[in-house]
Structure 1
Amino acid sequence: MDNYEQKLGIKAWAEADRPREKLLLQGRRQLTDAELIAILIGSGSRSETAVDLSKRILSFYQNDLAKLAKLSVKELSKFKGIGEAKAIAIVAALELGKRRKETEEDGPIKITSSKDAYLILKSELTDLPHEEFWILLLNRANFVISKHFISKGGQAGTVVDPKIIFKVAIEQNASSIVLAHNHPSGNLTASEADIKITKQLVEAGKVLEITVYDHLILSDHSFLSLADERLM
């Protein structure tokens, strides 16, 4: 027991501090994923260093940061040694990393294909454990005006209110819109409900002279265009 406690004393705390020192001396790119997460966690316990705790969490998710990025504060807090504050720090850092991937182009972005719309919307609709519905607003020349969150649902679906969609479009003087929602399951097949609501929105848009160009279904790594598939 004495040897065990001695091992977890100064030696353990020194290891927990090393990621910070390593970052200062060698730069952030020299740190492993576990070491970077350990800096966010800040400290471990007498039985486990911050680095070891980070390794345990990463190992549970096959060292896949994409899977880790999907976790909620509640899910992260289930790991022994991760309280709410530490879980919040990890979630916030991973969200910043995700946003960092978004590339901002100079000047307005023009939509010429379903892929163009996908590239703009994927940052909002990937790494989510639930469904969300968003719209992309375009002007008469098909340049993007803005993107808007419409609704949030569970794992199996989300409620879409046409009145909210077209209210936003009218307020922003949009000439056309692109609909989008995600399938957390990764299944890119359009359901009967997806097709039905799309056709309803297309018809409603005709009355208001707002064209519904497309409806995208996104997974974490790909997408389906109902327009390309001629399902709308």
Structure 2
Amino acid sequence: MNPHYKPHIPITTWAEEDRPREKLLLHGRRTLSDSELIAILIGSGSKNESAVDLSKRILNHYQNNLDALGRLSVQELSKFKGIGEAKAISIIAALELGRRRKDAENEQLHSKITSSFDVYKLLSSHFFDLLHEEFWIVLLNRTNRVLSKVLISKGGQSATVSDPKIIFKSALEHNASSIVLAHNHPSGNLKPSSADLQLTKKMVEGGKILDIGVLDHLIFAERKYFSFADEGLM
């Protein structure tokens, strides 16, 4: 046997946590690579190549550029061995949905924040189904229009580091007049911890010195939210 020959190993024989579908269910969509996500779309490979390997081959051909992949026609995608018309259509449809989602997200930027629910609508998609904590800030101009959304940190299941210096540095770089803080509780508990209360107090005090208003702090959990401002805790 050729020592360089690598026999094809079907995805169905992989360890459960390595299979794209099962991996998504167990660990969430953000743990999957681009090739694994595309493999879910096309469903199956061939007797000589798994769906993941086929996806890697397609991505490699376009230097792993999803934007370039999104501009392909059904005919162009179908030129890859293992990709028929139905699979090509699935890939194109999914990438088009991603483009439209991005357009919708861009429309949200520069929108005006008038309530905690406006912040919830702006950030909720970033927190859905997360199994770890993330800390985000929303940067606003003098009329409370959104300048940017910034991911400050990622953590474990129970905490993430939120350094006021990094937060205010982002605000100053964007010439923000005010900011809104936001993080999630993967446990599903909306109640702010003592650390959440202390950080909020520290941020409000620091903002006064820099003339940057800290308008609110939202906690996201199970598609609900808690607003410090609404509860009189700012």
SS at match of 2:118: helix
Partner of 2:133: 131
Measure, in 1, the Cα distance between the counterparts of 2:127 and 2:233: 21
Amino acid in the other structure paired with 2:198: K
Q: For the structure 1 residues 199 and 57, does the alpha-carbon distance in structure 2 shift closer, same or farther, using more than 3 Å as the test? A: same
> Could you tell which deviates more after superposition, 145-154 or 121-130?
121-130
Partner of 2:31: 72
Question: Is the 8 Å Cα contact of residues 126 and 182 (structure 1) preserved in structure 2?
Answer: no
Q: Structure 2: any 5+ residue segments left out of the alignment?
A: 1-7, 14-18, 37-43, 45-49, 57-65, 67-90
Amino acid in the other structure paired with 1:72: T
SS at match of 2:107: coil
SS at match of 1:216: strand
Partner of 1:31: none
Matches within 5 A, 1:57-206: 57=22, 69-70=28-29, 72-73=31-32, 85=52, 101=101, 103=104, 104-105=106-107, 108-206=110-208
TM-score, normalised with respect to structure 1: 0.61
Measure, in 1, the Cα distance between the counterparts of 2:172 and 2:178: 10
How many residue pairs match? The answer is 171
SS at match of 1:105: helix
Q: For the structure 1 residues 99 and 186, does the alpha-carbon distance in structure 2 shift closer, same or farther, using more than 3 Å as the test? A: farther
Amino acid in the other structure paired with 2:110: P
Measure, in 2, the Cα distance between the counterparts of 1:112 and 1:46: 49
TM-score, normalised with respect to structure 2: 0.60
> Quick check: 1:225 aligned with 2:208?
no
- Structure 1 residue 85: Cα displacement: 3.9
SS at match of 1:135: strand
Question: Is the 8 Å Cα contact of residues 180 and 215 (structure 1) preserved in structure 2?
Answer: yes
Measure, in 2, the Cα distance between the counterparts of 1:182 and 1:107: 21
Question: Is the 8 Å Cα contact of residues 140 and 147 (structure 2) preserved in structure 1?
Answer: yes
Measure, in 2, the Cα distance between the counterparts of 1:208 and 1:96: 42
Amino acid in the other structure paired with 1:128: L
Q: For the structure 1 residues 95 and 111, does the alpha-carbon distance in structure 2 shift closer, same or farther, using more than 3 Å as the test? A: farther
Question: Is the 8 Å Cα contact of residues 98 and 123 (structure 1) preserved in structure 2?
Answer: no
Q: For the structure 1 residues 121 and 71, does the alpha-carbon distance in structure 2 shift closer, same or farther, using more than 3 Å as the test? A: closer
Q: For the structure 1 residues 185 and 97, does the alpha-carbon distance in structure 2 shift closer, same or farther, using more than 3 Å as the test? A: farther
Q: Structure 1: any 5+ residue segments left out of the alignment?
A: 1-42, 49-53, 62-66
Question: Is the 8 Å Cα contact of residues 207 and 214 (structure 2) preserved in structure 1?
Answer: yes
Question: Is the 8 Å Cα contact of residues 73 and 84 (structure 1) preserved in structure 2?
Answer: no
Alpha-carbon RMSD:
3.9
Question: Is the 8 Å Cα contact of residues 218 and 228 (structure 2) preserved in structure 1?
Answer: yes
Matches within 5 A, 1:31-46: 45=10
Partner of 2:83: none
- Structure 1 residue 140: Cα displacement: 0.4
